[in-house]
Amino acid sequence: MLKLNHIIAGYGKAEVLHDINLEVKEGEVVALVGPNGAGKTTTIRCITGELSVTKGTILYKGKDITSLPPYKIVPLGIGCSPEGRNIFGNLSVYENLKMGGYLLKEKALYQEQLEWVYQLFPKLWDRRDQLAESLSGGEQQMLAIGRAVMTSPQLLLLDEPSLGLAPVVVDQIYEKIEEISQQGSSILLVEQNVRLALEISSRAYVMESGQIHLSGDSASLAKDSYVEETYLGVR
């Protein structure tokens, strides 16, 4: 479904991603984990078109989408809940969701997605007229994911959905991510919480200093001694 081939990218003269190869197959949940500054968000930005790649190609359903601008990426069925959420604080919950769905030309599809988001996150329905800035951290994260779901994504990119949230809220969010996956979206999940990421995903990539250090099926990676020592705190 998504394939990154030998991606090199960075900011100005600083190269951040050095030859990244990564794949998400249809229906998969794939985790991308690694320490702060490894290049995870940079990888997401390359896929969404926010950042042009220096070298390499990105294929989506076999089509070359390398460095297409974001407004051309979203209609292809690639939705993103970005790091830091990036919701519009001075707009209501409903208005934020509406902006997510603005590319859905078909009214019926828009309505269907909106109902699905409210069903996923009933709290967003309860608070639909409330300003987004007045939501709690967990609710804001739900809104960011809900807004991405409004684009009716076949591929959903989630950048650190658990960041800054209490464990019980993290569990709720992850249940919803599983539900979204069961509805048929393929998911690329960026997480600092490696334990959680390996639980929910079928495959994972460990990124360090802009390179894929390890990859494989998540259950095996969770038992890998390097991963255990470095990321799971087992000795």
Ligand X SMILES: Nc1ncnc2c1ncn2[C@@H]1O[C@H](COP(=O)(O)OP(=O)(O)OP(=O)(O)O)[C@@H](O)[C@H]1O
> How many residues sit close enough to ligand X to count as binding (CB under 6 A)?
13
Of these, 2, 22, 39, 170, which contacts ligand X (CB under 6 A)? 39
Q: How far is the CB of 163 from ligand X (least distance, A)?
A: 8
Q: By CB under 5 A, name the one of 15, 28, 83, 224 that touches Mg ion.
A: 83
Q: Which residue has the tokens 């390179």?
A: 211
Cβ distance to ligand X smaller for residue 14 or 108: 14
- Between CA 173 and CA 142 the distance in angstroms is 7
* Helix (H) / strand (E) containing 10: strand 2-11
What is the chain's alpha carbon radius of gyration, rounded to the nearest angstrom?
17
Choices 39-47, 105-113, 119-127, 222-230; region in contact with ligand X by CB under 6 A: 39-47
Stretch that binds Mg ion, among 40-48, 69-77, 116-124, 204-212 (CB under 5 A): 40-48
13 binds ligand X (CB under 6 A): no
Shortest distance, position 150 Cβ to Mg ion, whole Å: 23
* 42 near ligand X, judged by CB under 6 A: yes
Output the six-digit token pair for 61: 């359903």
Planar angle of CA 107, 47, 154, nearest 5 degrees: 40
The verdict on 16 binding ligand X (CB under 6 A) reads yes
**Strand order through the sheet with 78-81:** 78-81, 155-159, 186-191, 29-33, 203-208, 211-217
Q: Does 208 bind Mg ion (CB under 5 A)?
A: no
Site for ligand X in 156-215 (CB under 6 A): 192
Closest residue by Cα to residue 2 from 55, 79, 54, 69: 79
